[in-house]
Amino acid sequence: MSGRTTALTPPADAGPPVRHPEAPAPGEVIGAHYENCFGCGAGVPHGLHLEVRAGEGVAVTAEFRVKEAHQGAPGLAHGGVLATALDETLGSLNWLTRVIAVTGRLETDFLLPVPVDSVLYLEAEAVAVHHRKIYCTATGRLGGPEGPVAVRADAVFIEVKVEHFINHGRPAEINAALADPDQVKVVRAFEVNP
Ligand SMILES: CCCCCCCC(=O)SCCNC(=O)CCNC(=O)[C@H](O)C(C)(C)COP(=O)(O)OP(=O)(O)OC[C@H]1O[C@@H](n2cnc3c(N)ncnc32)[C@H](O)[C@@H]1OP(=O)(O)O
């Protein structure tokens, strides 16, 4: 055992998440953070193409239309794809706090089958912060933002430095992302505070 705690329940001395003063206004489309991101990028033909909007506090909403390329069983979304949709929505919270963080733990409940062509209405919220750990939760509903919950997740994201990506990412993509003349795109590729 490493001795480190991976629990999804915040410790008693955890604090509230803090919305960055320049976070997008509630209702504003946040947009893709990186065009080659499988979750949100327009450059990935079979990607999820999530459209994420800022919510109140440290919360976001997103919509994901399930396509044929996302099947597991015939006519139904693959569970791993649904977990990806939850993960990507949770990852978008980074842009509201302007903290760079990656998924450490993601625990998912699959409650209802999700058919191809249906729209999953996603919502994610950061609930607590303890040092580098951000505790957050997400749901995906069918039929509308108030519909029945089909999938849900609890997660712990871990704050990292931008070096996490620069040291571990394939150099071709890292160099291309850093070379983009659009500085907002550069910082968003790594969800870094500009
Ligand atoms: C740019 C944004 C894109 C968003 C896309 C959607 C989000 C994603 O999918 S991100 C990609 C998937 N995730 C990854 O690739 C992460 C891979 N893992 C890692 O790189 C490392 O394990 C990392 C950085 C998470 C932690 O490593 P390290 O920095 O050494 O942390 P470490 O010092 O061990 O632990 C720090 C704290 O985090 C906690 N922690 C570490 N790992 C976990 C875990 N898996 N679960 C819960 N807590 C954890 C530790 O308990 C410790 O807490 P405390 O301070 O209370 O003791």
Q: Would you call 142 helix, strand, or coil by DSSP?
A: strand
- State residue 97's pLDDT score: 94
Is the separation of the CB atoms in 158 and 102 below 8 Å?
A: yes
Domain assignment present for 30 = no
| Separation of CA 73 and ligand 1 centre (Å) | 31
The CATH number that applies at residue 146 is: 3.10.129.10
Please tell me if the CB atom of residue 116 comes closer than 6 angstroms to any atom of ligand 1: no
| Separation of CA 4 and ligand 1 centre (Å) | 11
Count: domains in the chain: 1
| Separation of CA 10 and ligand 1 centre (Å) | 15
Is the whole-model pTM more than 0.90? yes
Please tell me if the CB atom of residue 46 comes closer than 6 angstroms to any atom of ligand 1: no
- Other C-beta atoms closer than 10 Å to the C-beta of 75 total 12
Please identify, by atom number, the ligand 1 atom nearest to the C-alpha of residue 190. Answer: 1
Please tell me if the CB atom of residue 88 comes closer than 6 angstroms to any atom of ligand 1: yes
Range of the domain at 136: 51-189
116-168 pLDDT, tens digit per residue, is: 999 999 999 999 999 999 999 999 999 999 999 999 999 999 999 999 999 99
Domain assignment present for 114 = yes
5 vs 2, 105, 133, 137, 155, CA distance in Å? Answer: 9, 11, 11, 18, 13
The rounded distance, in Å, linking the Cα atoms of 137 and 105 is 11
Domain assignment present for 3 = no
150 vs 2, 25, 79, 83, CA distance in Å? Answer: 34, 28, 11, 11
Please tell me if the CB atom of residue 105 comes closer than 6 angstroms to any atom of ligand 1: yes
Please tell me if the CB atom of residue 154 comes closer than 6 angstroms to any atom of ligand 1: no
**Residue of 4, 95, 96 to test ligand 1 pocket, by largest number of atoms within 8 Å of CB:** 4
86-111 pLDDT, tens digit per residue, is: 999 999 999 999 999 999 999 999 99
What are the φ/ψ torsions at residue 44 (nearest 5 degrees)? -115, 105
Give nearest CA residue, ligand 1 atom 22: 104
The rounded distance, in Å, linking the Cα atoms of 76 and 192 is 36
Is the separation of the CB atoms in 133 and 157 below 8 Å?
A: yes
- State residue 183's pLDDT score: 84
107 vs 4, 92, 110, 138, CA distance in Å? Answer: 17, 17, 10, 10
Give nearest CA residue, ligand 1 atom 45: 104
CA angle 78, 58, 133 (to 5 degrees): 75
Domain assignment present for 37 = no
Domain assignment present for 34 = no
Q: How far is CA 41 from the centre of its chain?
A: 12
Q: What's the ipTM? A: 0.96
Please tell me if the CB atom of residue 91 comes closer than 6 angstroms to any atom of ligand 1: yes
Domain assignment present for 167 = yes
